Amino acid sequence: MAKANDLTTGKVSSLILKFYFPMLLTNMLQQMYNIADTAIVGKGLGDNALAAVGNMSSLTFLIFGFSMGLANGFSVIVAQSFGAKDYAKLRRSVASSAMLCFMIALVLSAVSIIFLRPVLGLLRTDAAIMHDGLVYGYFIFGGLTATIAYNLCSCILRALGDSKTPFVAIIISTIVNIFLDLFCIFVLKTGVEGAAIATIFSQIVSAFICWLRLRKIDVLNITREDFKDNGSLYIELFKNGLPMALMNSITAVGCMVIQYFVNGLGVAYTTAYSACSKFINLFMQPACTAGFAMSAFTSQNYGARKFSRIREGLHVCLAIATVSYLILGSIMIFFPTYLAKVMVTGTEPIRIAGTYLPICGIFLFAVDFLFVFRNGCQGFGKPLVPMISGIAEMALRIGVIALFINVIGFRATAYAEASAWIGALILNMASFEHTLNKCLGTSAISHKKLRTAA
C-alpha cells in the first residue's frame, strides 16, 4: 500500500517545492492541451469555429468552476483531517465527497444542456457561430461527470500531498487528447464535436489513473460503513465547498458579461478575446499552482495546529508567484503579436489581441498574488471572504467594462480584468493576515498557559 505525504513535518521550502513542481507541470500541461485544442480548431476549422469554441469558455468556466470549487472545498476537509491524523473522518470525508460530487454532476449536466441555447442567446452569440457553439456545448456538458470525477480525485490526492499522480495522469491524457483532436478533425472531418469528444475521453483517462492511485493509499481503505450516517459531514463539506463553488461561479458571471460586450463588437473581437484568454490562463498557472500548494500546506498544518509553518509557506509561495510574474508578465507585455499568431490566422484578430495582452501583462502580479492569499484563506477553512471577493470581482468587471467600453473600446476588457484582480487581492490578503495572526496569537496564549501550569 502507498502512503500519503505529510506536509506538517520537514523543511518548509523543500516540501513545498517538491509538491509544487509536479503540480505545476500538471496544470501547464492541462493549459497546453487547451491551447492545442484551440490551435487545432482554429487552424483546422477556421476562425469562426475558434470563436464558437472560445465563446463557450465563460459558460464552461461557470459550470466547471462551480464543480471545481466544490471539489477544492471538500478536499480542505480531507487535508485537515489528514493533518490532525483523524483517519476515520478522512475516509468518511472522501466517501461523502464522492457521493455528493456524483449527484451534483448529474444535475449540472442536465441543467447545462437544457439552458445552453437561451444562455448563448443572452450572450449575443453571433449567428455565424451559434450552431458550432451548441454542438460543442452539448458534448462538453454531456461529459461533465468525467470532468468532475477527475477534479475530485486530483484534489483529494493533492490534499494528501500527492502531486505526482495527477501529473502522470495529465501527461497520458494530453497525448490522448491531442491525438484524438488531430484524428477527429483532420481525418474524420468531424468539426468542433471532435474536439469536445477528445476532451471528454482524455478526462475519463485521467480520472481513472487518479482513482487507481487513491485505491492504493493506506489510510484510504474505504468500506461501506464510511458511506453511512454522514449527514453532519455532508453539511460540513457543503459549508466549506459551496462558498468556493459560488465564488468561482460568481467570477464566471463577470466573465460572461465581459463576453457579452466583446461579442457585441463582432466576431473578430470574439476570436481575439478567445485566444488571449487561453494565454492568460496558461500564464497564470505557475502562480495558480503556488496557490494550490498553499491550500494543501495550510490545510494540513492548520489541522495539525502548526501555525508558524503556514507563515513560512506563505513566503515560499509568494516568491514563486513573484518569479512567475516577472517572466511571464514580460512575455505578455513585449511579445503579444507573436503569442496571438500561435492560434489566430486573421490579421484583424491578431491586431486586436496586441492591444489586450500587454495591459493584462502589467497587472498580472495582482492575480498571481491573489491565488496565494485566496487559497491560503480556503486552507484555513474560511471560504466566506474568498466568496465575497468573487462578488467584488464580478462587480468590478461589470462596472469597468460598462463604463469604459464606449470610451476606449476593446481595451476596457483588459482594464476590467485588472481592476477585478486588484480588488480581490486586497480583500483576501487582509483576511489571510487577520486569520493567521489570530491563530498565532491563540497558539502563543496556549503555550504560555502550559508553561505557567508546569
Does position 450 have pLDDT exceeding 70, yes or no? no
Amino acid identity of residue 124, one-letter, is R
d(CA 314, CA 290): 9
Q: What is the pLDDT of residues 326-365, one digit of tens each?
A: 999 999 999 998 888 887 778 898 899 899 999 999 999 9
Does position 448 have pLDDT exceeding 70, yes or no? no
Does position 446 have pLDDT exceeding 90, yes or no? no
How far CA 239 is from CA of 99, 244, 245, 317, in Å, comes to 16, 9, 11, 26
User: CB of 5 within 8 A of CB of 296?
Assistant: no
Rounded average pLDDT over 153-161 = 90
Rounded to 5°, the CA angle 111-112-118 comes to 100
Q: What was the pLDDT predicted at 57?
A: 75
Reported confidence tier of residue 323, pLDDT bands at 50, 70, 90: very high
How far CA 381 is from CA of 297, 318, 376, 391, 393, in Å, comes to 12, 20, 9, 19, 21
Rounded average pLDDT over 69-75 = 88
Q: What separation, in Å, do the N-terminal and C-terminal C-alpha atoms of the chain show?
A: 42
Q: Dihedrals φ, ψ of 88, to 5°?
A: -65, -45
d(CA 386, CA 370): 10
What pTM was computed for the model? 0.79
Q: What is the pLDDT of residues 265-274, one digit of tens each?
A: 888 898 888 8
Q: What was the pLDDT predicted at 433?
A: 93
